Amino acid sequence: MKANVTIHRDFTISQIDDRVYSSFLEHLGRAIYTGIYEPGHATADADGFRGDVLDMVRALNTPYVRYPGGNFVSAYNWEDGVGPRESRPTRLDLAWRTRDNNHIGVNEFVDWCKKAGTKPMLAVNLGSRGLDAARNFIEYCNHPGGSYWSDLRRQHGWKEPHNVKLWCIGNEMDGPWQVGHKSADEYGKLANETAKAMRLFDKSVELVVCGSSSSNMPTFPDWEATVLDHTYDVVDHLSLHMYFANKEHNTLNYLAQTETLDRYIQSVSGVIDYIKAKKRSKKNVTISFDEWNVWYHSNEQDKKILEGDDWPDAPHLLEDIYNFEDVLQVGSVLNTFIRRADRVKIACIAQLVNVIAPIMTEAGGPAWKQTIYYPFLFASLYGRGTSLRAVVDGPTYKADIASDVPYLDLSVVRSTGGDALTFFVVNRHLTESLDFSSALNGFPAARVVEHIQMTHPDLKAVNSAANPDNVVPKTVGGTMVEDGALRCKLPPLSYNVIRLSV
Ligand code: AHR
């Protein structure tokens, strides 16, 4: 099988916003407790943060981490997580049927972000609370001093303001599972008033309003139209979420799900444009895809906790163990965001540690990299710059959701400095290699720097604490630039990062 690609230096889609390589930490399961925070762990620092986890997060260079939820935020009192630890209340988290002693709150999280080389993207509670809690929260975080809330922060030991500039106005408010779920109209009105108040405090904040929690929601896409009708003038981004699952054990259907993702982005972009036109607005609202990942491996085992009456502390929840097949899916999701760089300006892999996450830990034991750590790492490292349009002439297959899914899935990025070109390529074919060739118009001096590849004879192969290097990338040879074209053979079911200097 052959696939011929054409790119041209001047045929660009858009600058890629670095924030598409952001991530997410929720007070859920062991993401915080025994994930990033475990006082007494052999690698813990003076603040109780695990050093092994910090090292792995730092390497990912993830620009923002969304916090504290997720579903959790919709019944969260941010005040519970500040002040002396010994007087913080233990609360029942209704979203995940868990107890939380609030030993980590916003101040500790901001400290952790600094150590991890990232920045906070905070969410306010628009489920059980609203405008007042949100305006107090932003004042507590960002005002230098001389007011009630900012002086309280200073009294708590954080003299300098946190200067958090990116805020989510609630989470998945379209979902009936959400504490304080609202209709689009109710949410739109509340989100608008909350956003207005937050902007009255600081004009320069960037605000993310809730879109649909999935394109399968019965309220999609009316939800987006109604919410934006209320909020278009005061928000910057519309939040979308999508999770991927191979519940039918059908690899080709599973890998075709990124077509749904692409259509979702396309449809929502249409709704944004419609409201922009309706309001005769000059302003652009863009997409914050602030939850995405594979999520299904742990569904069965989670039922015990989610349907039980135990209210455990930091339970093993949503601990998906990712396999090699998921590498291909995560690689294709990231390719989709790069190809849609004109619309998607923020994306957060959900989540970062232990909970549907690229990094896993054992309490009192090691941390290790899941299979999906690698495609996220490579996209974050080499996927910054300009997204180039690639025309693909290659074979397709019929899947449940589309009749012409390309076997070859790719994105192409020219680095910010312009001196490097990276192809992120997935061959979705189950059994056949692809003879890959790409014309490199406008790049006369191109040469191959490195071809990184992930393949595995077993699609279901995983990494574990005992065997952390079962599924890892390797460097392969045989990839060349010849007669102005990049050429190589892509093995069946392979994820590839081909780096050129140009
Ligand atoms: O990331 C796990 C959960 O998925 C989040 O809490 C929620 O926003 C979504 O439904």
How many Cα atoms sit within 13 Å of 236 on the Cβ side?
15
Ligand 1 binding pocket (C-beta < 6 A) is: 26, 69-71, 171-172, 213, 241, 291, 350-351
* Lookup: tokens for 41: 């762990």
Please identify every stretch of the chain with a pLDDT value under 70, giving residue numbers as ranges: none
Q: What is the pLDDT of residue 197?
A: 98
Q: What is the pLDDT of residue 326?
A: 98
Residue 243 alpha carbon, nearest atom of ligand 1: 4
| Highest CATH level, class, for 18-382 | alpha beta
Contacts of 382 (CB under 8 A, 6+ apart): 413, 415, 420, 422, 424, 497, 499
pLDDT digits (tens, 9 = 90+) for 161-219: 999 999 999 999 999 999 999 999 999 999 999 999 999 999 999 999 999 999 999 99
Cβ atoms of 109 and 115 closer than 8 Å: no
The residue whose CB lies within 8 Å of the most ligand 1 atoms, and thus the one to mutate among 24, 71, 217, is 71
Nearest CA to ligand 1 atom 2: 70
Nearest to 289 by CA among 184, 188, 215: 215
Q: Which atom of ligand 1 is nearest to the CA of 351?
A: 1
- Active-site amino acid positions: 172, 291
Distance from C-alpha of 310 to C-alpha of 97, rounded to nearest angstrom: 8
Contact 33, 81 (CB under 8 A): no
Identify the residue whose C-alpha is closest to ligand 1 atom 8. Answer: 70
Give the Cα separation of 15 and 290 in Å (integer): 19
pLDDT of residue 385: 98
pLDDT of residue 152: 98
Residue 352 and residue 25 in contact, taking contact as beta carbons nearer than 8 Å: yes
- Name the pTM for this structure: 0.98
Output the pLDDT for position 257. Answer: 98
Q: Whose CA is nearest to atom 3 of ligand 1?
A: 70
Q: Which fold has domain 2-9+388-501?
A: Immunoglobulin-like (2.60.40)
CA atoms 77, 79, 82, 87: torsion sign: negative
Contact 382, 422 (CB under 8 A): yes
- pLDDT tens string 317-375: 999 999 999 999 999 999 999 999 999 999 999 999 999 999 999 999 999 999 999 99
CA distance linking residue 362 with residue 52, whole number of Å: 11
| Domain limits, the chain | 2-9+388-501, 18-382
User: What pLDDT score was predicted for residue 104?
Assistant: 98
Q: What is the pLDDT of residues 324-338, one digit of tens each?
A: 999 999 999 999 999
In ligand 1, the atom with minimum distance to the C-alpha of 72 is 6
N- to C-terminal Cα distance for the chain?
Answer: 28
Alpha-carbon gap, residue 326 to 472, rounded angstroms:
13
Q: Which atom of ligand 1 is nearest to the CA of 318?
A: 2
Give me the amino acid identity at 45: D
Q: 457: helix, coil or strand? A: coil
Backbone φ and ψ for 453, nearest 5 degrees, come out as -140, 145
Q: Whose CA is nearest to atom 6 of ligand 1?
A: 70
- The rounded distance, in Å, linking the Cα atoms of 210 and 219 is 13
